[in-house]
Structure 1
Amino acid sequence: MNTIEQQLWDYIDGNLDESLKKAIEEKIALNADVKSQYEDLLKLNLVFDGLDLDEPSMSFTRNVMESVAMVPAPVAMKTKVDKKIIYGIGGFFVISLLALLGYVFYNVNLEMPKFDLKVNLDFNLEKYITPAAIYAFLFADLVIGLIFLDQFLRKKIAQK
């Protein structure tokens, strides 16, 4: 659609401001081609106004919903990957890592400097391991054990 045709449609629809409206009116008055195009568009607009829009029947929505309900729901595709491929890729990476580790050990020159480290490992365990700490540890283990037991039993019930 060219610009003059768009401007004429905007003029017919009343979407132009005053300055553009006056400019289009001058073009219509001065140019015979623009005037004939304007008249054709006016006739076309009258034809469009005279058309009755078809309305769907009252049960249209119900009919569409019933036809949608009859179509089976799409099932997610489950692709099966060959386990040999997975094992092959995993084996390649394991062999590559082992080869890299072997290369590093072969080329490393490991020399430890002599240092004198005196560590005092004599500390009082009774100070840190109190009956309250033992009870807290056992309580936490009991709670974790009960959570795992609950999950295990729920899986058993779901499988049945």
Structure 2
Amino acid sequence: MNTIEQQLWDYIDGKLNESSKKAIEEKIESNAGIKAQYEELRELNSAFNALDLDEPSMSFTRNVMESIALAPAPVAMKTKVDKKIIYCIGGFFVLSLLSLLGYVIYNSTLSMPKFGFNTNLNFRVDQYITPTVLYSFLFFDLVVGLVFLDQFLRKKVAQK
């Protein structure tokens, strides 16, 4: 849009001050091209003013909200990985580690030095296993068993 057309629209809308308004009126009177353009813009403005604006119905918002509520909620995409691929990758790494361990064992010379001390492995069991130790061990096992039972029951309740 050029400046004269913008000035003509401002003149038609009544947005100009007095000095600019007089300058545009003089241009309209003196130039026939500007006068023809002014007449076209004034007719276009009157046609725009004659148009009736369409208003949505009273239940438009309710209808839109109901249609949105009926649409299924988007679900996050879940990618499915084939378990065979995971097993193949894991198998590759296990075989690699086993082959590396085998290579190291094959190329190493294993010799143990002789230690010059004698050990006496005869010891009395009843010296170490006293009733206090036995009761402590059973109490610890009971606590661990109750913790595992609690976790098991919580999983059962969560599944239902």
Using structure 2 for the length normalisation, give the TM-score. Answer: 0.50
From the CA coordinates, give the structure whose radius of gyration is larger: 2
Using structure 1 for the length normalisation, give the TM-score. Answer: 0.50
